[in-house]
């Protein structure tokens, strides 16, 4: 895919103010766009939002049933992402759920609120490591208070070992929940270390990075080979290294069986034969665990271009693996947004022109860009790694050879973007960090469109552009732990290079080049300053998307320093960024795009590492402290995520006669409901 996350685009104003809390459990589907409350609960550094599903009532009953079955399949895999992000996460989650469901003591105290905040953070992150920073977090309430909660709850609901007392359970639980030195990082991308043993995700056990690399070096990764290792845990047992494949009859079988049950129901109401064939191939892959079957499914999925309803379901993105091999479970169920699709289709229709006119070396360009299917989608349901924090753009499949030979699908998540935009319009971030009145005015006028267009170009053109040289292996093998950040930078640079091109005006997707300037203002401000609001004092940058953005902005600043292309300006003790020459900045973006494509095409690990470590990682701590102080005064949350709409079937005996959408308003209630309905895995897998 490479998901494109809604990330401080000042244009998009993704940062929100404090919100009101609505204690009712649902809002009906009849709420209009004007009356629908986007903001829900907020806690810690998190703001929870809601999104609507416009167009759902227009669907046929067959399509509504299809959405319902696919949504149930999506939610049936929810346990998997918890277990993938840490082998103790299901143990913790079931403990928290049992306390919420059975504790009879005081729930109005300050300590209870601290416990509630920890639980909210845990559910939001699908585990006890921050969803973005990957560092472990612990409750602010004491372990003694936590123990009183456990002892005051129904012991039968806790995941006790056979014959284990509650006191012994608490002894076992204490380091897992409270010790910051126990599994401190879910993903550790630090250079010159063993990134496998330093990361606490549940993709590997008892193996070193050298052993993992040696194991997968036996597999041919050239040409039309699968993404080896995508759907398995690698373990060493009795001195033997082997894969535990995620499939029916393998690891995660009980959850996958439920996924397949609902996928089978979906095949019965598929919109057309191609969609039915695609779903059948996905089912077959879940049964066999064979990655060649997964490629067959992706090829069929790319060929389904006419269905209104679509789904992503599987082990997809590799950001949670330090070396970029293991796919995290996710699912996105959607319907096509017919009106918004017109813009992205106009861009996709010019894909060959963009490829031919890119600044890439000729040997790295595709001679024929095939099968880019582009659309805007209305999200119906998200699950796994796609929620609560969600991308706003998606490009799939991730296999370069499938994209080259069969094409890809690029989508913009229009209703998700709409909710972000609505929620963030009064954040104050723009006024605090944008340098001049003219920049602020341009961003207020064109910011939303600029952000949308950059997302479209990133997904539709960026990820689909370029090609790997013959005989060069796939990036997760050649570029290793730098592959994800470099790929995101490559796609971002395609969007940045072309958003200041007259071509976008000529094809009617933007009114003037002022839109491109707005995106440059936003991107440079974000990459050099505002994204620092997500970094703690003393830390550097580890997350791939943040590394990508700082790499681009910092490299352009350094390379253009002689000509003052970008400047840091200090006024009244506040630091701002100012772009002095937009045309030269575009040229710099083109130069960096050319180099990063070369790195990918040739598999140049050392050059890729040098780019990331030199420009994408290190943080100016003085600037960071200044930015954090300015940001704190705005009283807004740096991270956003969503409560999911719920599809409720209307029944006549055993027959579904309609499907309704309801909109829950309590994140906590939804998490507890999910824990009751979609808990299929044991605590240890």
- Let me know: does 48 contact 20? Beta carbons within 8 Å: no
User: Helix, strand, coil shares of the chain as percentages rounded to 5?
Assistant: 45, 15, 35
Q: Which two tokens stand for residue 477?
A: 């093998």
Q: Which own/partner contact pairs does 651-659 have at CB distance under 8 Å and 24+ positions apart? A: 656/61, 656/65, 656/68, 657/61, 658/61, 658/64, 659/61, 659/64, 659/65, 659/67, 659/68
The per-residue b/e assignment along 127-160, b for 16 or more CB within 10 angstroms, e otherwise, is bbbbbbbbbbbebebeeebbeebbeebeeeebbe
- Quick: pLDDT tens for 460-499: 899 989 999 999 999 988 999 999 999 999 999 999 999 9
At 335, which helix (H) or strand (E)? strand 328-336
Q: For the residues 396-410, what does the mean pLDDT come to?
A: 92
Provide DSSP, 541-587: --SHHHHHHHHHHHHHHHHTTTTTSEEEEEETTEEEEEES-HHHHHH
Instruction: Tell me the two tokens of residue 556.
Output: 């352009």
> pLDDT digits over 322-375, tens only?
999 999 999 999 999 998 898 889 999 999 999 999 999 999 999 999 878 889
Distances (CA, A) of 403 to 36, 319, 586: 39, 20, 27
What mean pLDDT comes out for the span 106-115? 98
> What is residue 34's predicted lDDT score, i.e. its pLDDT?
65
Mean pLDDT of all residues in 266-276? 98
**In this predicted structure, what is the pLDDT of residue 206?**
98
Query: What percentage of the chain carries pLDDT values higher than 70?
Result: 95
Taking CA atoms, 583 is separated from 470, 560, 565, 586, 652, in Å, by 34, 12, 9, 5, 64
Confidence class for position 33, pLDDT limits 50, 70, 90: low
Angstrom distance (rounded) from CA 475 to CA 401: 12
Residue 11 has pLDDT above 80, yes or no: no
Provide the pLDDT for residue 371. Answer: 76
Look at residue 303 and give its three-state secondary structure.
helix
344 Cβ contact list (under 8 Å, min separation 6): 374, 375, 376, 410, 411, 412, 456, 460
Q: What is the DSSP string of 489-532?
A: HHHHHHHHHHTTSHHHHHTTS-SSTHHHHHHHHHHHHHHHTGGG
Q: Which residue has the higher pLDDT, 204 or 20?
A: 204
E strand or H helix that includes residue 72: helix 61-76
pLDDT for 126: 98
Residue 297 pLDDT > 90: yes
CB 132 within 8 A of CB 543: yes
d(CA 444, CA 422): 13
Q: Which fold has domain 55-67+201-335?
A: Fructose-1,6-Bisphosphatase; Chain A, domain 1 (3.30.540)
Per-residue pLDDT tens over the stretch 191-206: 999 999 999 999 999 9
The yes-or-no verdict on residue 606 having pLDDT over 50 is yes
Q: Of 142, 140, 149, nearest to 105 (Cα)?
A: 149
Question: What are the residue ranges spanned by the domains of the chain?
Answer: 4-54+337-642, 55-67+201-335, 76-180+643-677
> Angle at Cα 519 formed by Cα 460 and Cα 479, nearest 5°?
55
Beta strand pairing call for 232-237 and 240-245: antiparallel
In this structure, of 306-315, 459-468, 519-528, the range with the lowest mean pLDDT score is 459-468
| Number of neighbours of residue 184 by Cβ within 10 angstroms | 15
d(CA 659, CA 646): 10
Rounded to two decimals, the pTM is 0.86
pLDDT of 15 > 70? The answer is no
């Amino acid at each position: 895919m490479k998901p494109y996350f809604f990330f401080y685009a000042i244009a998009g104003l993704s940062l929100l103010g404090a919100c009101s809390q609505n204690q009712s459990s649902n809002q009906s589907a009849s709420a209009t766009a004007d009356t629908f409350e986007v903001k829900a609960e907020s806690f810690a550094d998190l703001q929870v939002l809601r999104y609507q599903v416009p167009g759902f009532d227009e669907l046929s009953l067959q399509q509504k049933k299809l959405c319902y079955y696919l949504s149930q399949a999506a939610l049936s895999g929810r346990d998997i992402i918890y277990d993938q992000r840490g082998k103790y996460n299901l143990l913790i989650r079931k403990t928290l759920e049992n306390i919420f469901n059975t504790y009879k003591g005081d729930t109005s105290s300050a300590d209870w609120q601290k416990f509630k905040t920890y639980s909210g953070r845990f559910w939001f992150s699908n585990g006890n490591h921050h969803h973005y920073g990957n560092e472990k977090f612990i409750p602010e309430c004491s372990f003694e208070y936590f123990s009183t909660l456990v002892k005051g709850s129904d012991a039968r609901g806790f995941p006790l070992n056979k014959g284990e007392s509650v006191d012994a359970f608490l002894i076992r639980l204490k380091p897992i929940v409270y010790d910051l030195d126990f599994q401190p990082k879910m993903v550790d991308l630090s250079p010159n270390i063993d990134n496998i043993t330093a990361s606490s995700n549940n993709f590997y056990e008892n193996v070193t990075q050298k052993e993992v690399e040696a194991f997968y070096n036996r597999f041919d990764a050239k040409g039309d080979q699968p993404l080896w290792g995508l759907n398995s845990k690698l373990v060493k047992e009795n001195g033997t290294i082997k894969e535990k494949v995620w499939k029916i009859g393998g690891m995660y079988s009980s959850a996958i069986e439920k996924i397949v049950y609902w996928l089978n129901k979906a095949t019965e109401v598929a919109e057309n034969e191609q969609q039915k064939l695609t779903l059948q191939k996905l089912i077959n892959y879940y049964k066999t665990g064979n990655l060649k079957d997964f490629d067959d499914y992706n090829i069929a999925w790319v060929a389904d271009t006419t269905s209104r309803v679509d789904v992503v379901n599987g082990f997809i993105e590799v950001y949670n693996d330090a070396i970029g091999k293991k796919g995290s479970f996710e699912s996105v169920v959607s319907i096509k947004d017919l009106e918004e699709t017109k813009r992205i289709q106009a861009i996709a229709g010019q894909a060959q022109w963009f490829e031919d006119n890119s600044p890439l070396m000729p040997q790295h360009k595709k001679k024929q860009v095939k099968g880019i299917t582009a659309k805007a989608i209305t999200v119906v349901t998200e699950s796994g790694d796609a929620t609560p924090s969600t991308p706003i753009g998606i490009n799939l499949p991730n296999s370069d050879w499938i994209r080259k030979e069969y094409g890809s699908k690029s989508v913009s998540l229009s209703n998700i973007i709409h909710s972000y935009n609505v929620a963030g319009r009064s954040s104050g971030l723009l006024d605090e960090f944008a340098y001049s009145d003219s920049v602020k005015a341009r961003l207020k006028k064109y910011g939303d469109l600029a952000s949308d267009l950059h997302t479209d170009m990133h997904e539709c053109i960026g990820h689909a552009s370029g090609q790997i040289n013959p005989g060069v292996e796939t990036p997760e093998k050649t570029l290793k732990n730098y592959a994800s950040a470099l790929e995101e930078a490559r796609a971002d640079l395609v969007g940045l290079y072309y958003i200041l091109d007259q071509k976008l005006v000529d094809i009617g997707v933007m009114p003037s080049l002022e839109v491109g300037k707005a995106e440059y203002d936003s991107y440079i401000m974000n990459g050099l300053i505002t994204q620092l609001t997500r970094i703690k004092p003393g830390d550097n940058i580890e997350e791939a998307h943040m590394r990508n953005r700082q790499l681009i902005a910092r490299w352009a600043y350094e390379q253009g320093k002689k000509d003052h292309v970008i400047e840091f300006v200090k006024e009244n003790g506040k630091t701002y960024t100012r772009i002095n020459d937009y045309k030269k900045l575009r040229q710099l973006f083109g130069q960096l795009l050319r180099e990063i494509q070369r790195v990918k095409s040739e598999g140049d690990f050392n050059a890729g590492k040098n780019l990331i470590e030199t420009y994408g990682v290190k943080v100016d701590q003085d600037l960071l402290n200044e930015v954090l102080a300015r940001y704190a005064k705005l009283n807004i949350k740096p991270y956003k995520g969503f409560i999911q709409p719920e599809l409720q079937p209307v029944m006549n005996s055993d027959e579904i006669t309609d499907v309704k959408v309801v909109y829950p308003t309590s994140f906590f209630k939804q998490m507890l409901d999910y824990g009751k309905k979609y808990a299929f895995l044991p605590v240890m897998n």
